[in-house]
Amino acid sequence: MENTVEVDRRGAALRRRSSTGRVLHGMKKHYFLYLLLAPALVLTLIFKYVPMYGAVIAFKDFSPIKGIMGSEWVGWKHFEKFLSSPNFDVIFMNTLKLSLFGLLCSFPVPILLALMLNQIRRASVKKNVQLFLYAPNFISVVVIVGMLFIFLSPTGPINHLLAWITGEPLMFMSDPKYFRWIYILSDIWQGAGWASIIYVAALANVDPELHNAAGLDGANLLQRIRHIDLPTIRPIMAIVFILAAGGIMSIGFEKAYLMQTSMNLPASEIIATYVYKVGLQSGDYAYSAAVGLFNSVINVVLLVTVNLIVKKLNEGEGLY
């Protein structure tokens, strides 16, 4: 019995050494590729992993004078403060609604754009249409918000048209009920074209003979899209949806903050803007770190949950 155990141990050790040797041999053989990868790994380590150490201040009564290690440990105090604060329900629901509605509204648009672009046969026309669709992505968020304030102001062109039709303008940028849809629709306009690139690239790999054969069999355009194009991009759709759902609570701070006014605050105050105001403007770094960490934990839970659901619905294909 002892001899058998010893043989098993030696076999396992030999397998480990063999596996390590293969890895080292692969690194020596493809060393140039690893050198190209090194800067990205270093930057990720420095700017993504090293700062995680600072998250410990969420559990401390942080003082810049005492430092992270010298500050008093307070446990879950800041988390309990946030969860019991009168602003929690409003901030949490604003963040959830804005991100969830944004995901449901914006996710199908790049797919539809890619399917329509794939039907354009003339290369020159397709390039011009793509240029028109991709251009808004390169406009600064500050410029986008400035455009929204100009076009949707009480004296802007849209309200001039509404006043001519209905007799009175609408307070788009100050009324809370319009904030969410202005944010989502402007996001779709700015990013849908650029987001369609990955689907266009996947559709470019579809064999044209499949469409020709389906056409000869009597399949119309919608049937060819359903049975040829959509199955081709389904794995990419699953990955993009999982990543988007995993970041469902991580709304861009800049745009929401720039669009905020004192009138639309009941709808525009989200976790990102709240952390900025509490952490940087009020100087309560520990409390803002706790709120940000709470938000990150929710994102991780959503990522894992959505990945499991998609794997069950997508025949085992998911993000991991």
Residue 62 belongs to some domain of the structure:
no
- The pLDDT of residue 7 is 47
SS3 9: helix
Question: Per-residue pLDDT for the chain (320 aa), expressed as one digit of tens each?
Answer: 445 545 456 555 555 556 677 777 777 888 888 889 899 999 999 988 888 888 888 899 888 888 888 888 988 888 898 888 888 889 989 988 888 888 889 999 999 999 999 888 888 888 899 999 999 999 999 999 999 999 998 888 888 888 888 878 888 888 888 999 999 999 999 999 999 999 999 998 888 888 888 888 888 888 888 888 998 888 888 888 888 887 777 777 889 899 998 888 889 898 888 888 888 778 888 888 888 888 888 888 888 888 787 777 766 666 66
Closest CA to 228 of 239, 238, 217: 217
Q: Are 176 and 264 in contact (CB under 8 A)?
A: yes
Closest CA to 287 of 268, 271, 269, 265: 271
What does the alpha-carbon distance between residue 320 and residue 203 come to, in Å, rounded to a whole number?
A: 23
Residue 279 belongs to some domain of the structure:
yes
- The pLDDT of residue 199 is 93
- The pLDDT of residue 52 is 85
Residue 13 belongs to some domain of the structure:
no
Residue 199 belongs to some domain of the structure:
yes
Total domain count, the chain: 1
Report, in angstroms and rounded to the nearest whole number, the Rg of the chain calculated over CA atoms: 26
Residue 157 belongs to some domain of the structure:
yes
Closest CA to 62 of 51, 73, 49: 73
CATH of residue 169's domain is 1.10.3720.10
Residue 215's CB is within 10 A of a number of other CB atoms, namely 13
Residue 20 belongs to some domain of the structure:
no
106: tokens are 């914006």
Q: Are 106 and 315 in contact (CB under 8 A)?
A: no
What's the count of helices (H) and strands (E) in the chain, helices before strands? 18, 2
pTM of the model: 0.81
Residue 131: which domain range? Answer: 86-313
- The pLDDT of residue 3 is 55
- The pLDDT of residue 24 is 78
